[in-house]
């Protein structure tokens, strides 16, 4: 574990610096450790949701492979900021063509959020991966591997990172709480796990946020500061819509945006995750099936840049309009 000052962001302060310190991903970490020990590896593609350890794995691999010289042999770029072909032709090409330091025959280039690269930039990147594979190995990270062109995927060993298990997240939170001398109530851990949904980064950030207010963290403290909508709020909103009260449901939706500070994606994710547990008297099974269809359509629209408030209002409008129809 890192041992930086207490003012550091906990996500960075407690980020594992070696693959042996990583939690979870039992099917991935052993293979990466083998690469580090043999000092030989193909190009890699890390795919999975945010906060599942993709960047941590790349950094830990560089630490284990190069030791103290890892910074001289590792370059990290974010494709969200530099997504065009000029970045590939200049920054990436210039780095890939230079020789590594030390006894490892290649350097590492970590391209985070590579699914944001344009198609033209990806085609150029594929040519660089072929031409400079002797002096540089690429690690591409993405949320959606389907957005990476097939010629790149075929040149990489693909690792699919899944959301962390509740046990893995809780174990990490407990280690951090002990190191920071914070007392965390059991129900607080449960609230953080529910709010993070397997996203380790979100869980640690929420723990640090609530820890700034008191040395003892309770479930209520977490609920007061988590932006993710609470189950009862989502149930109330859907219940109002199903009862035909669109205005009331819309008001509850706006409360989630303003009072809770939740984003449209978070509200959509909360509606989807709470769906199986909503009582039948609140949301019948048939309505759950129809609601999933609406949520899938809205999720696609949001990904295409549609306005989140209008799209979520559309879900409530569908439910409210159907409330009076015979089933």
- Both tokens assigned to 107: 């350097």
Residue 84 has pLDDT above 60, yes or no: no
Report the CATH fold assignment for 231-322. Answer: Zinc Finger, Delta Prime; domain 3 (1.20.272)
Residue 285 has pLDDT above 50, yes or no: yes
| 237, 239, 286, 297, 307 from 293: Cα distances, Å | 18, 18, 11, 6, 19
Instruction: Match 């609140």 to its residue by tokens.
Output: 282
Band (107; pLDDT cuts 50, 70, 90):
very high
Structurally, at CATH architecture level, domain 166-225 sits in Orthogonal Bundle (1.10)
Summarize pLDDT for 93-104 with one digit per residue, the tens: 888 888 888 889
Alpha carbon distance 263, 14 (integer Å): 27
- Contact partners, residue 167, CB within 8 Å, separation at least 6: none
Of 65-79, 99-113, 274-288, 303-317, where does mean pLDDT reach its minimum?
274-288
- Contact partners, residue 205, CB within 8 Å, separation at least 6: 9, 10, 11
- What pLDDT is recorded for position 144? 87
Summarize pLDDT for 119-132 with one digit per residue, the tens: 888 998 999 999 99
> Residue 127: which of 103, 174, 93 has the closest Cα?
93
Contact (CB, 8 A) for 53 and 164: yes
Averaged pLDDT, 279-297: 81
- What pLDDT is recorded for position 2? 42
User: How far from chain centre, in Å, is Cα 205?
Assistant: 13
Instruction: Match 């020789």 to its residue by tokens.
Output: 99
- Contact partners, residue 87, CB within 8 Å, separation at least 6: 77, 121
The 3-state DSSP class for residue 77 equals strand
Residue 36 has pLDDT above 90, yes or no: yes
- Contact partners, residue 12, CB within 8 Å, separation at least 6: 2, 4
pTM, full prediction: 0.77
CA angle 117/121/124 to nearest 5° reads 140
Residue ranges covered by each domain of the chain: 10-160, 166-225, 231-322
Summarize pLDDT for 263-283 with one digit per residue, the tens: 888 888 888 877 787 777 767
Band (196; pLDDT cuts 50, 70, 90):
confident
Averaged pLDDT, 46-62: 93
- Both tokens assigned to 291: 């609601």
Superfamily of domain 10-160: P-loop containing nucleotide triphosphate hydrolases (3.40.50.300)
Of 122-136, 160-174, 202-216, where does mean pLDDT reach its minimum?
202-216
> Residue 187: which of 210, 160, 163 has the closest Cα?
210
Radius of gyration of the chain (CA): 23
Residue 20 has pLDDT above 60, yes or no: yes
The 3-state DSSP class for residue 288 equals helix
């Amino acid at each position: 574990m890192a041992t930086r000052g207490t003012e550091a962001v906990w996500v960075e302060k407690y980020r594992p610096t070696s693959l042996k310190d990583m939690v979870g991903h039992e099917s991935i970490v052993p293979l990466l450790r083998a690469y580090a020990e043999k000092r030989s590896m193909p190009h890699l593609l890390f795919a999975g949701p945010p906060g599942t350890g993709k960047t941590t794995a790349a950094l830990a691999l560089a630490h284990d492979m190069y030791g103290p010289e890892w910074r001289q042999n590792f370059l990290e770029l974010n494709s969200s900021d530099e997504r065009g072909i000029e970045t590939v032709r200049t920054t990436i090409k210039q780095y890939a063509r230079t020789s590594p330091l030390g006894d490892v025959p290649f350097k590492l280039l970590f391209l985070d959020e590579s699914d944001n690269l344009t198609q033209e930039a990806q085609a150029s990147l594929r040519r660089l991966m072929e031409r400079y594979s002797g002096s540089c190995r690429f690690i591409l990270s993405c949320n959606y591997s389907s957005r990476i062109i097939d010629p790149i995927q075929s040149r990489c060993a693909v690792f699919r990172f899944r959301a962390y298990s509740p046990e893995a997240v809780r174990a990490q939170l407990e280690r951090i709480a002990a190191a920071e001398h914070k007392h965390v109530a059991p129900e607080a851990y449960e609230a953080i796990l529910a709010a993070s949904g397997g996203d380790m980064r979100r869980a640690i950030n929420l723990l640090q946020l609530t820890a700034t207010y008191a040395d003892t963290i309770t479930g209520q403290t977490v609920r007061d500061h988590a932006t993710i909508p609470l189950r009862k709020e989502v149930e109330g909103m859907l219940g109002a819509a199903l009862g035909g009260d669109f205005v009331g449901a819309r008001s509850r939706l706006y409360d989630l945006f303003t009072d809770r500070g939740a984003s449209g994606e978070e509200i959509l994710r909360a509606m989807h995750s709470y769906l199986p547990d909503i009582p039948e008297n609140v949301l019948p099974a048939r309505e759950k099936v129809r609601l999933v269809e609406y949520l899938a359509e809205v999720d696609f629209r949001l990904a295409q840049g549609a306005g989140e408030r209008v799209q979520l209002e559309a879900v409530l409008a569908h439910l409210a309009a159907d409330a009076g129809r015979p089933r």
